[in-house]
Copies of this chain bind each other. A is one copy, B any other.
Amino acid sequence: MNYPNKKNKAANNYIEYGKRGMSLESDINSSNKYYLENDIAIIYKKPTPVRVVKVDYNKRINTKIVEAYYEVPSTTDYNGIYKGKYIDFEAKETKSKTSFSLNNIHKHQIEHLVKIEKHGGISFLIIRFVTLEKTFLIFTKDFMSYINNNDRKSIPLSYIEEKGYLIKEKYNPIIDYLKVIDSIGE
């Protein structure tokens, strides 16, 4: 699923400098690849949903889509299985130095994460504060507890630091988020 796009091409230029500057999405895809190849977990990014309006069947080799539009995803971007458990999460970057705005995530995606937790899955957000170069994992029950008790449109960094888990970047996997799952004994 690693198809090239402008963003990834730009990011690839940074590889020589120790993989810094890669997007959170690239880092997670690379980590999932590591998990898969080492038979640790099977977690994939879902394809971006596209509404196809018009195709050209005249092409010999491959049907060409000539009119299509991006759609809002029904669920989160990532799901899969780890140690028999259903895993589901969304990953978001923010440039803010102080808080994570809930405008970054669709309301129905939050509702999806809550449902997953209710059904016995492990659901969370991975949030990268790009400017601070810090990446956190915060479980659904913890950020929901803040949202429900404070009725606010953003979660302060201080709360994420307190209730979330800082994921230190390493060589491979870059973002070892499954270590957090291990640490809480789920």
Known pairs A66-B66, A71-B3; A84 contacts B119 (CB<8 A): yes
Q: Which residue of B lies closest to A62 (CB)?
A: B69
Query: A86 and B75: CB pair below 8 A?
Result: no
0/1 per residue, A137-164, Cβ < 8 Å to B?
A: 0000000000000000000000000000
Chain B residue numbers with a CB within 8 Å of A69 are 62-65
Question: A47, B44: Cβ atoms under 8 Å?
Answer: no
CB proximity of A75 to chain B, nearest CB, Å: 6
Residue pair B116, A81 in contact (C-beta under 8 Å):
yes
Closest to A118 in B: B39
Considering residues A1, A39, A65, A121, which has the most beta carbons from chain B within 10 angstroms of its beta carbon?
Answer: A65
From the candidates B65, B70, B74, B86, name the one contacting A84 in the complex (CB within 8 A).
B86
Q: In which size bucket is the chain A interface?
A: 35 or more
Q: Is A19 an interface residue (CB 8 A)?
A: no
Q: Which of B46, B63, B85, B119 contacts A42 (CB 8 A)?
A: B119
Q: Is A5 positioned at the interface, with any CB of B under 8 Å from its CB?
A: yes
**A68 proximal to B (CB < 8 A):** yes
What mask results when residues 115 to 148 of chain A are scored 1 for a CB within 8 Å of chain B, else 0? 1100111000000000000000000000000000
Please encode chain A, from 39 to 57, with 1 for each CB lying within 8 Å of some chain B CB and 0 for all others.
1011010111111100000
Given A5-B52, A50-B50, 11 more contacts at CB 8 Å? A3-B51, A3-B71, A42-B115, A42-B116, A44-B75, A47-B73, A62-B69, A63-B69, A68-B68, A81-B88, A81-B120
Residues of A within 8 A of B (CB): 1, 3, 5, 39, 41-42, 44, 46-52, 62-71, 73-75, 79-86, 88, 112, 115-116, 119-121
A-B interface, 5 closest residue pairs, ranked by CB to CB distance from nearest: A84-B120, A47-B49, A65-B68, A86-B86, A81-B86
